[in-house]
Amino acid sequence: MGDGQCRIPRTDMIWHRYEGLPSPSDAHKIEQYHLVAKYQQCLELASQIEPLDKSNVKELRFRSLVNAGKELDRIVSELEPSKTPQALYFLWSQLGDENAQRSFLQLEPTGALDTADMQYALATFYTGKDKLKTRDLLHRSLELSRDKDLNVEVIKSLAGVNQSLNNLKQAYVWALIAKDLGVPVASESELRRIYQFDDETQSQLMTLKGSIEDAIDQRQFNAALIPQGIEES
């Protein structure tokens, strides 16, 4: 675009597209979809701004907006025949494709979903159906996060699902870890007031928090770090 609006998202979109040539993976196509959608959103906002030079800027913005929509449709059409877990999860979670959801869930016993991203994806499905399984899937996602950037949503979700299970000690530990990772939660003093553990328990939970954080930092988390019967002690 000649008027400078949306230059950054447009550049990000173009560079990412060329990085995937000549044979972009499904993961690359999905990321491209999100970048195009971000560019499209920027164009929609820009179209509400009256340009100083009205000669052809509005026409260019409209044309770019139409082309962005076509690009999104093109990416979806390329992903629809795919049976990779990434494509199926995208089609289900982003576009509401129920056939993709069924195909994705059928992969669960095959081991094809045994990656950090896909275990988290499975957890999002079971959240409202089986909270214990959701917690176990989130643990597994962390265990598989070896060489990947940490998905902070996993930590945040562990705090939430343990709270809903009334596992208050675990919920407290995960909330503190989430806070350290920049998730906007209550302050540590506020959390202490909310949970009201005695000094001995507080000390034990802070030790556990440190052990879990060290393991996560080293990408060596294991659910066995969490003592069995922790909620009864």
Distance CA 177, CA 63 (A): 46
User: Cis bond leading into 227, ω under 30°?
Assistant: no
- pTM for the complete prediction? 0.86
- 3 state SS for 30-65: HHHHHHHHHHHHHHHHHCCCCCCCCCCHHHHHHHHH
Report the Cα 187 to chain-centroid distance in Å: 24
Given this model, what pLDDT does residue 146 score?
A: 81
pLDDT tens-digit map of 119-178: 999 999 999 899 999 999 999 999 999 877 889 999 999 999 999 999 999 999 999 999
Residue 163 burial (10 A CB sphere; 0-12, 13-18, 19+): middle
CA contacts within 13 A on the Cβ side of 9? 21
Cα separation, 115 vs 164, in Å, equals 25
